[in-house]
Structure 1
């Protein structure tokens, strides 16, 4: 019988106990902060934190700046579309395309485009009772809280390279 590996993994990319603890603490803090500020969908802060958590501040910082900018871009586009072109499939498709062009023009990576598009979709596609501008503002703050908490935790409690090297050797 031949065993086939269905996925690829690198030992240094496997989560450690410390990384899991750091991630759980960061997600919990971001949720608490978002709730403290009374953000209506505070869970987006925790989700953003879970996405952002990485082992080094340098890697996290660079991508986080793009994610915050892309979230702002998607929120602006979403607020505009939901206000002036509600429930228009063709305008939504065009907006996703234009966001891609804008992200390329601003030299943002695909992950930033993903954040912009997801933010747009959440604002435009989910029916809300609040005005689109309020929803967009909340979405921006919820994601930004999550990203900033992740950055703060990674800065205060960095994952040591020795731990990664030790895991690699095993």
Structure 2
């Protein structure tokens, strides 16, 4: 029985970590191929090619292309400048070597500060300037290092394209699904403060997770755009999906402002069931959209959400007709109508999000 449970747990873990395992396999294959290719072509060192192939390997092909371009740009700038400094400034004494180091690092460090794609330039310049145990001339040493970097880049990008390839489109769908699920959890935590008057200890952690997830979405959108520009993908523009996720987040911010404390006692009993129904329908819709994004099928319609929102509005209208609202202060009245507005806006944006999920399913 323990063995069965362990096997089931292992399979579940492997399924949940599929993208991470795939990336690990690609990195391993790239490192092995880069090492073999360097030895095959007869370059003196294998470390640069192997390290480059590992650095280039990213979650998606678009990310790998960007990493490859950045690595190549930084290597070329650093290698050329390091070789020039090595020839121009002799460094037989410690003072001369120190001066050469400063001259080599200063401009390449400025390049790295101005453009992150050049961040390896200072390191490359130093390695070319002070080659450990090498008998090659500075130009020859720089040329060989560039050749090794090129080998690592070619291997890395080729493995990204051919070995269990992952397009940015799929990475984006997974990241968007995660954010959508987190939004459902956030809504439950927020509504607990309004319906039950409980504290909201989980809200800060959920908000932080959502912000991190949105950063992943933004990165995936950039990578998808890069794949399209490089003619590595023909998917449609995915930026509308990111914009919709940000609108949903804004809607939840509006709802959060209302849920800082419980509903007024005079209306809480009448609104409790409609609010619970609206919460449950919204959470179910968010999870359904997330699953649609994850599995690439058309998201469900908003019928359940719309029915629960209509029930909440009906309950509000009944209380207003009975004159209950006249007993409330302007602040409490504002909270009630702000919540209604927040859910109405959330419904519109969830409809757009469901459409975006449908577009992702068609790609």
TM superposition score category, shorter chain reference: 0.7 to 0.9
Kept in 2: contact 1:86–1:124 (CA 8 A): no
Q: For the Cα contact (< 8 Å) 2:31–2:51, is it kept in 1?
A: yes
Kindly provide the CA deviation profile for residues 114-143 of structure 1, in whole angstroms up to 9, marking residues without a partner as x. 311111111112342111111100101111
Aligned pair partner of 1:59 in 59, 63, 69: 63
SS of structure 2 residue aligned to 1:16: helix
1:97 maps to: 106
Among 166, 175, 178, the residue aligned to 1:159: 166
User: How far apart are 1:74 and its partner, in Å?
Assistant: 0.7
| Matches for 1:67-86 after TM superposition, within 5 Å | 67-86=71-90
Aligned pairs for 1:4-15 within 5 A = none
Q: Work out the CA distance in 2 between the residues paired with 1:66 and 1:57.
A: 14
Instruction: Please state how far the C-alpha of 1:155 moved relative to its aligned partner.
Output: 1.4
Q: Hey, what's the Cα distance between the residues in 1 that align with 2:17 and 2:72?
A: 25
Q: Does 1:115 align with 2:82?
A: no
Query: 1:51 and 1:99 mapped to 2: Cα distance?
Result: 20
- Listed as ranges, the matches of 1:130-145 within 5 Å are 130-145=136-151
The answer to whether the 8 A contact 2:51-2:152 is kept is yes
If the length of structure 1 is used for normalisation, what is the TM-score? Answer: 0.77
Higher RCO structure (Cα 8 Å, ≥6 apart)? 1
Distance 1:120 1:13, change over 3 A: farther
Q: Pairwise mapping of residues 26-37 of structure 1 onto structure 2 (< 5 A)?
A: 26-37=30-41
CA distance in 1 between partners of 2:31 and 2:19 (Å): 16
| TM-aligned CA distance change 1:81 to 1:156, over 3 Å | same
Quote the Cα distance in structure 2 between the aligned partners of 1:77 and 1:60.
Answer: 26
Matched residues, number: 152
2:23 is the counterpart of 1:16 = no
Which residues of structure 1 form unaligned runs of 5+?
Answer: 1-11
Structure 1 residue 13, shift from structure 2 partner: 9.5
Q: Is the 8 A contact 1:66 1:108 kept in 2?
A: no
Instruction: Name whichever of 12-21 and 26-35 sits farther off.
Output: 12-21
Q: In 1, Cα distance between the equivalents of 2:52 and 2:81?
A: 20
Q: 1:43 aligns with which of 27, 30, 47?
A: 47
User: Could you say which structure has the larger radius of gyration?
Assistant: 2
Runs of at least 5 residues in structure 2 that lack an aligned partner in the other structure = 1-15, 92-96, 182-363
**Deviation by residue 1:140-161 (Cα, 9 ceiling, x = unmatched):** 1111211121111111231364
Distance 2:106 2:56 in 1: 25
Work out whether residues 61 and 166 of structure 2, in 8 Å CA contact, stay in contact via their aligned partners in 1: no
Q: TM-score when scaled to structure 2?
A: 0.38
Decide which structure has greater helix share: 2
